[in-house]
Amino acid sequence: MSDRPSVLITGAAKRVGARIARSFGKAGWHVVIHYGHSRNEAETLAHELDSAETVSCELSDDTAATAMIEDCASRLTDWRVLINSAGIFTSDTAEALDPEVHRKAIAVNARVPTLMAQRFLVSARAKGGRRVIQITDQKLANPNPDFFSYTMSKHALGSTIAMLAKAQDDPRDRVYGLAPGAILRSHDQSEEETEISHRLNLLHRKTGPDEVAEAALFLAQGWLASGQTLYVDSGQHLLDQDRDVIYLARAL
């Protein structure tokens, strides 16, 4: 680990977060795999990689999350990237916001990732600058009334990216957004529904999780100007969809 750059990825035990972790691992990084409740999956993934460790905390807990950042900052000598990939995707609607769903979504999807980014940018030691990558959603550009609190929370997180970028004195420190579209099967979707819904974009193709992972590696190099958001969604964000693709697919 001593001569490797480090990356911490939240929610990295499963799904897209795990794909991102594997991509960084193959590229020679030391990967810090955060998990909430998926300890077995996180440890299995860590054993697959050449240089990795696992950390755990509840991302609804401000104090625990910032303490995790402080602990990593005290140990990692070249911690270049923080990727906030973990998120809560629970259904409520524009007609009926669910207060508990809203509370958790705002905490896990917006407030805590912002607190973690702030603490990382202050305390992490990195050679050549630090990078924050906030995983948002193509719904920032193409919102609809479904998953109302989730979408609100991602808009809240998205609004912080340019603000945090402008607040950095060191031009080597950069803050980015990474906005995927429909990537993996969600909720109670069948395989057939997934195939249909994931092609409801301008290119009529499925966007793969490895494309998101490759985009994260690209952003980790800091080639874009700070404050930018990169969409990886086969053009879905350029559409104006009245409902989430889960429900659009069922209506076909």
206-246 pLDDT tens trace: 999 999 999 999 999 999 999 999 999 999 999 999 999 99
Reply yes or no on whether the pLDDT at 2 is more than 70: no
**Residues 201, 245: contact at Cβ < 8 Å?**
no
Give Cβ neighbours of residue 225 (< 8 Å, ≥ 6 apart): 174
pLDDT in tens, 191-215: 888 999 999 999 999 999 999 999 9
Angle, in degrees to the nearest 10, between helices 39-48 and 15-26: 20
pLDDT confidence of residue 3: 83
Return mean pLDDT, the chain.
95
The 10 Å Cβ neighbour count of residue 55 is 16
- What is the pLDDT at residue 15? 94
Q: Please report the pLDDT score of residue 188 as a whole number.
A: 77
Backbone angles phi, psi at 184, to 5 degrees: -125, 165
3 state SS of 196: helix
For residues 185 and 74, the model is more confident at 74
- Kind of pairing between the strands at 6-9 and 30-35: parallel
Separation in Å, CA 3 to CA 16, 30, 80, 129, 216: 26, 9, 12, 16, 21
In angstroms, how far is CA 159 from the centroid of its own chain? 15
- pLDDT attached to residue 187: 73
Strand partners, 35: 56
pLDDT of residue 1: 54
- Mean pLDDT over 127-147 rounds to 97
> Whole-model pTM?
0.96
The whole-number pLDDT of residue 191 equals 87
pLDDT at 185 over 90: no
Helix (H) or strand (E) run with residue 47 in it: helix 39-48
52 bridge partner residues: 31
Nearest to 14 by CA among 44, 48, 41, 46: 41
Element holding 7 (H helix, E strand): strand 6-9
Residue 163 CA: distances (Å) to CA of 173, 178, 211: 13, 16, 27
Nearest Cα to Cα of residue 101 among 87, 85, 89, 115: 89
**What's the pLDDT at 172?**
95
Tell me the mean pLDDT in the region 17-35. 98
pLDDT one-digit tens code per residue, 49-103: 999 999 999 999 999 999 999 999 999 999 999 999 999 999 999 999 999 999 9
Beta bridge partners of 179: 231
| Fold classified for 6-185+208-235 | Rossmann fold (3.40.50)
Average pLDDT over residues 28-56: 97
Q: What is the DSSP string of 79-130?
A: EEEEEE--------BSSS--HHHHHHHHIIIIIHHHHHHHHHHHH---TT--
